[in-house]
Structure 1
Amino acid sequence: MHRPQQALVALAAISLTAFPLAGCGAKGGSAQADGSGPGTLKVVATTTPVADFVRNIGKGRVDLLQLIKPNASPHEYEPTPAHLQAIGQAKVLFENGAGLEEEWLDKPVQAAGFSGRTVDTSKHVTLRQGEDEETGKPADDPHIWHNPRNAKIMCRNIEQALIKADPDHKADYHANFTAYADRLDALDKDIARKIGSLPRENRKLVTNHDAFGYYIDRYHLTYVGAVIPDFSDQAELSGKQIDSLVQKIKAQKVKAVFGESSLPPKTAKAIARQAGVKVIAGDGSLYGDSLGPKGSAGDTYLKSERFNTKTIVDALK
């Protein structure tokens, strides 16, 4: 979804000083400040995974605003006045890249008068290719973080950008990256071991939308289909496509359909019911496009990937 241009202009025209940054987490966006105060580096991150990476690499040194709130679709983002204020003041803007923000980020950045550096954290990641459902043209899969090896590349890009913006604290950023990279390596090995414990004939995945391609490729699962067969979560299945997916589930003896925390489970439940298999929905849903809210099983990247893996393995045993 996109806010009309005139609405953005109106937001930019508001006296933004009337909206203190500390209060901007309550309504439009899960702004989260880390290490705020004199001398800290003001940065903005677009998505929940990118923001979590920035927190881990920049801990104690960055004053961070996260644009997308937990369990929310990036495609539905609408800027608040406080967000425009924070974007305008930021020295660095971290984005996921791979096309995830291209339809909604430019307008708020322009309206905010941002003059800092934009960092595409997908740089050097090998992107998967798919097909745009609307245009039929090739499209990059933006869900790069679901492979911890890609997450490590993203964190390296963040580390280098923070060092460039704040060279006096190079040693801190490097130490934080090294420690977190070790945790990502451990996560990767743990997921591989757990998925590897499944019988090969059970390693088949049907999800709410096509968000787990990098995970599927890395851990050698079979992608059977998705309730929304698109990298975006805004598309819809036709009746014919639903029937086709149900038949695939039956023919390939798929054991479960997995819902996602940021998407309504209604269609996933209906497909699972027609196919005669269990559906993983509600609190047990996978974290696909977004991390979860504070206190949830998926409120950090590491926790969300562990939770997803446990959920998948438990359902497909």
Structure 2
Amino acid sequence: MPNSHRFPRIRRTFHLPITWVFFGAVVLLGCEGTAGHTSPVLSAPGHSGPYRVVTTTGMVTDLVRAVAGARAEIWPLMGPGVDPHLYKPTRGDVKRLLEADVVVYSGLFLEGRMSETFSQVARSGKRVFAVTDGLDRSRLRQPPEFQGHYDPHVWMDVGLWSLCADHVSQMLAEFDPDHAEEYRRNAANYQAVLKGLDDYVRRVIASIPADKRVLVTAHDAFGYFSQAYGIEVRSVQGVTTESEAGVRDVNRLVDFLVERAIPAIFVESSVNSKHVEAVVEGCAARGVKVALGGTLFSDALGPAGDYTGTYIGMIDANATRIARALGGTAPPGGYQGQLSE
């Protein structure tokens, strides 16, 4: 079966050194295949133990780990607090990508600065795919400010992200058909857990008084969250953190917060907090106190080894903090009783 995965060009500029690093790594590692070889690996031959999967964001890593189980060794590229919009592959990343059997990324140009590298790895014969490839495009957001591209922050809608497990299961089954049923079973089990999480988020967000049900954050990563859980969303920056907020954006939000008497706004773990802090200061200058409602996880998970370092913990922490800060209710410890605050 030919490798039909293609990477359309986007507006960002890719720097030549990464391309040279890639080709240098091909030579040094003795990687089989050339840039013109497009036949994907369809099985896992010669693996007496786990095969190697390189993943990008923490959300993708958690999803792939849940579906692959013990069959794969997962090598994540991006750690806690890393902004995937701005991430550029290092020499070490390229080496890992070339040594992997499978490469899995989020897609929809979330990792836009890695697009050329993904394309090069795919042409070398590796199986490379995005977890969002299998989603019905009619369910994706297309914010006008993103100029024809989809909003990549799909994981903010737990139900929609859950569907990505089906595509991961399918792709791993094609790579390793001997364990196809195991991947399907793992995906179904994970989706059952995510259904409970989705119900929890829906419940605690609905507990916020209707006139205060407004989420204000650093950048527009919560559009899917807004659609899924019925909360209005405002932000200082747009869908990608590559855009820079200006004084007009800050003043616009100050006017909105003062008029609506919204009690809190939120910073994000992977985004500079300076613009959110400027909004708080602007409100204070108008005689209105707006609290910082806490740190939300938008484009990256929490610390490794912590409950928030998992996808479930990330979403649990977000929903619980939002509900409490805006006047709603949430149980002690959140969804699974594991939150420490």
Q: More deviation in 120-129 or 143-152?
A: 120-129
Q: 1:7 to 1:90 in 2, by over 3 A?
A: closer
1:128 maps to a residue whose letter is R
| Identical residues among aligned pairs (%) | 29
Name the CA distance, whole Å, in 2 between partners of 1:111 and 1:94: 11
Specify the alignment match of 1:269 in structure 2. Answer: 277
Q: Aligned equivalents of 1:16 and 1:72: distance in 2?
A: 29
SS of the equivalent of 2:53 reads strand
Aligned residue in 2 for 1:173: 183
Q: CA deviation at 1:274?
A: 1.6
Identify the residue that residue 278 of structure 1 maps to in structure 2.
Answer: 291
User: Aligned partners of 2:122, 2:226: CA distance in 1, in Å?
Assistant: 38
Structure 2 counterpart of 1:226: 235
Match of 2:53 among 15, 22, 43: 43
Cα distance, 1:100 vs structure 2: 1.6
Once superposed, what is the RMSD of the aligned Cα atoms?
Answer: 2.2
Instruction: Choose 122-131 or 304-313, whichever is displaced more.
Output: 122-131
Provide the secondary structure at the position in 1 that maps to 2:226.
helix
Query: TM-score under structure 2 normalisation?
Result: 0.79
Residue 162 (structure 1) shift: 0.8
Determine the C-alpha separation between the residues in 1 that align with 2:296 and 2:28.
37
1:50-71: CA deviation from partner (whole Å, max 9, x where unpaired): 1110011111011222222221
1:288 alignment partner AA: S
Give unmatched runs, 5+ long, in structure 1: 18-36
Alignment of 1:1-317 (within 5 A): 4-10=15-21, 12-13=23-24, 38-107=48-117, 109-110=119-120, 114-122=124-132, 123-125=134-136, 126-132=139-145, 137-223=147-233, 225-228=234-237, 230-275=238-283, 276-280=289-293, 284-317=294-327
The answer to whether the 8 A contact 1:43-1:64 is kept is yes
- Could you give the per-residue CA deviations for residues 111-159 of structure 1, whole angstroms, max 9, x where no partner exists? 79641222222122411110236xxx33311000111111111111101
Unmatched tracts of structure 2, length 5 or more: 1-11, 30-46, 284-288, 328-341
Distance in 1 between residues matched to 2:102 and 2:292, nearest whole Å: 41
Contact 2:269 2:296 (8 Å CA) reproduced: yes
Q: Report the alpha carbon displacement of residue 109 of structure 1 after superposing the two structures with TM.
A: 4.8
CA distance in 1, matches of 2:107, 2:116: 13
Displacement of 1:107 in angstroms is 2.8
1:111–1:191 Cα change, 3 Å: closer
For this pair of structures, how many residues does the alignment match? 291
Name the SS of the counterpart of 2:299 in structure 1: coil
> Following TM superposition, by how much is the alpha carbon of 1:2 offset from its aligned partner in structure 2, in angstroms?
6.3
Distance in 1 between residues matched to 2:236 and 2:54, nearest whole Å: 32
Distance 1:16 1:290 in 2: 32
Whether the aligned pair in 2 keeps the contact of 1:128 and 1:141 (CA below 8 Å) is: yes
Q: Does the CA-based 8 Å contact 2:172-2:183 persist in structure 1?
A: yes
Which residue is 2:34 aligned to?
Answer: none
Q: Partner of 2:109: helix, strand, or coil? A: coil
TM superposition shift of 1:13 = 1.6
**Counterpart amino acid of 2:259?**
A
Deviation at 1:77, TM superposition (A): 1.9
Which amino acid counterpart does residue 238 of structure 1 have in structure 2?
G
Offset at residue 207 of structure 1 (A): 0.6
CA contact (8 A) 2:245 2:275 kept: no
1:215-244 Cα distance to aligned partner (Å, 9 max, x none):
111110012x2121x111121222122111
Larger Rg: 2
Q: Distance in 2 between matches of 1:16 and 1:184?
A: 42
